[in-house]
């Protein structure tokens, strides 16, 4: 993987870059639709390409490990061939999912033992077998295995958790460097910065990640994890600033699981390059649409006889269908409603980061962001 910073914003830390992988290039800043089990909920890949214009999607190691399982993925030749997505893929390590299994997982130095949420069967994730699993999945970008501690953890727990994540990271890097990709194209590894909301722990974690990146055989970027898990928004922004002051400027920075359109613009201003979140599709399935003029609840009666396009400046589906039609589909509990709303929201998120990129290149990102950010949060 290669990363090139093409433009920087004079008034902030925002930057426009280009990531090059063996499955194609990614213009940053970028939003990555979440394809947990190898699919983005309710959206066909042709729509992801043509309507959403997604450049990269996510898969999740925990879910893909359980279903369809590694044997099927290996037989298929990896996730790209299994689901026919021919552009880049990133895989989460499954750490967040495993540690969300409260009461059915046990954490120790070796790794994390857990029971499947599907059938209760017992499994263990270690830094080594997670690297092996991500090799089998075959994503272009792999995440290191980490512990994602609760957002309100006390200092002692957060510090012990970080030390464990750091020891696991060293083991991930060793295994990554000892193994080769299985399908004839390159993969790269991203370490994850943890540390909860404690400035000194975040600084320590970021410095350690810098040291680790120098040991990787195949490039790599840095992920910022453990945020947007209940802490105040301003604290999240502060932690991003603390970490990005330390992380290398010549590597991509990925803020995991964030967030609202406003969160994304604030992250871009602070030097983040990559984002993912289930919010566009999850909110879309619940009739909530994001637009530059604010959010729309399509179940509200006010849209019943509004025959204007869903978004005249949006993707083709937005321009074809009216607000009244989408309102009708949701009231009728028609599956097409969730599909249209999901496509709209994903396309809007990609449009948002694409517009941010253009304003970074033009040199007026901060002014533009200030002109749109308040309106983005308005309820229409």
Name the residues annotated as catalytic. 92, 276
111 labeled part of a ligand binding site: no
17 labeled part of a ligand binding site: no
Distance CA 118, CA 127 (A): 23
Q: How far is CA 174 from CA 49, 65, 271, in A?
A: 36, 22, 29
Nearest of 8, 10, 30 to residue 87 by alpha carbon: 30
For the chain, state the CA radius of gyration.
Answer: 20
Distance CA 345, CA 343 (A): 6
Q: How far is CA 210 from CA 205, 243, 312, in A?
A: 9, 11, 45
194 labeled part of a ligand binding site: yes
Cβ 220 vs Cβ 251: under 8 Å: yes
CA atoms within 13 A on the CB side of 290: 25
Distance CA 284, CA 337 (A): 9
Asked if the bond preceding 169 is cis, omega within 30° of 0, the reply is: no
CA atoms within 13 A on the CB side of 151: 12
Nearest of 79, 81, 132, 123 to residue 105 by alpha carbon: 123
94 labeled part of a ligand binding site: yes
The two structure tokens encoding residue 218? 């195949």
318 labeled part of a ligand binding site: no
The two structure tokens encoding residue 362? 């033009």
Q: What is the layout of strands, in order, in the sheet containing 24-28? A: 2-8, 15-21, 24-28
φ, ψ for residue 316 (rounded to 5)? -60, -45
96 labeled part of a ligand binding site: yes
User: Which amino acids are annotated as binding site for substrate, given as ranges?
Assistant: 92-96, 146, 194, 226
């Amino acid at each position: 993987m290669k990363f090139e910073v093409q433009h920087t914003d004079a008034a902030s830390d925002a930057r426009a870059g280009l990531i090059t992988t063996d499955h194609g290039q990614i213009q940053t800043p970028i939003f990555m639709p979440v394809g947990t089990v190898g699919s983005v909920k309710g959206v066909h890949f042709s729509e992801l390409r043509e309507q959403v214009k997604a450049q990269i999607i996510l898969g999740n190691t925990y879910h893909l490990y359980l279903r369809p399982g590694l044997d099927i993925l290996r037989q298929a030749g990896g996730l790209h061939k299994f689901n026919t997505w021919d552009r880049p893929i990133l895989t989460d390590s499954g750490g967040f999912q495993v540690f969300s299994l409260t009461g059915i997982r046990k954490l120790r130095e070796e790794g994390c033992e857990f029971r499947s949420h599907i059938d209760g069967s017992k499994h263990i994730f270690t830094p080594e077998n997670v690297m092996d699993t991500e090799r089998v999945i075959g994503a272009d970008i792999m995440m290191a295995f980490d512990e994602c501690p609760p957002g309100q953890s006390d200092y002692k727990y957060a510090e012990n958790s970080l030390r464990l994540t750091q020891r696991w990271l060293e083991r991930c890097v060793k295994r990554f460097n000892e193994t080769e990709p299985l399908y004839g194209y390159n993969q790269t590894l991203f370490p994850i910065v943890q540390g909860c909301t404690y400035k000194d722990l975040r600084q320590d974690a970021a410095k350690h990640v810098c040291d680790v990146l120098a040991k990787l055989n195949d490039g790599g970027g840095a992920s910022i994890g453990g945020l947007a898990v209940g802490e105040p928004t301003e604290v999240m922004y502060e932690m991003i600033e603390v970490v990005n002051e330390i992380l290398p400027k010549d590597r991509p920075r990925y803020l995991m699981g964030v967030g609202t359109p406003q969160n994304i613009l604030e992250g871009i201003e602070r030097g983040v390059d990559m984002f993912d979140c289930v919010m566009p599709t999850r909110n879309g399935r619940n009739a909530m649409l994001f637009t530059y003029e604010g959010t729309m609840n399509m179940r509200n009666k006010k849209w019943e006889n509004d025959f204007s396009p869903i978004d005249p400046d949006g993707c083709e589906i937005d321009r074809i269908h009216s607000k009244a039609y989408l309102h009708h589909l949701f009231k009728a509990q028609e599956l097409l409603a969730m599909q249209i709303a999901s496509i709209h929201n994903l396309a809007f998120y990609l449009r948002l980061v694409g517009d941010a990129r253009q304003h970074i290149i033009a040199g007026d990102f901060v002014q533009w962001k200030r002109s749109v950010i308040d309106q983005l949060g308005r309820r229409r």
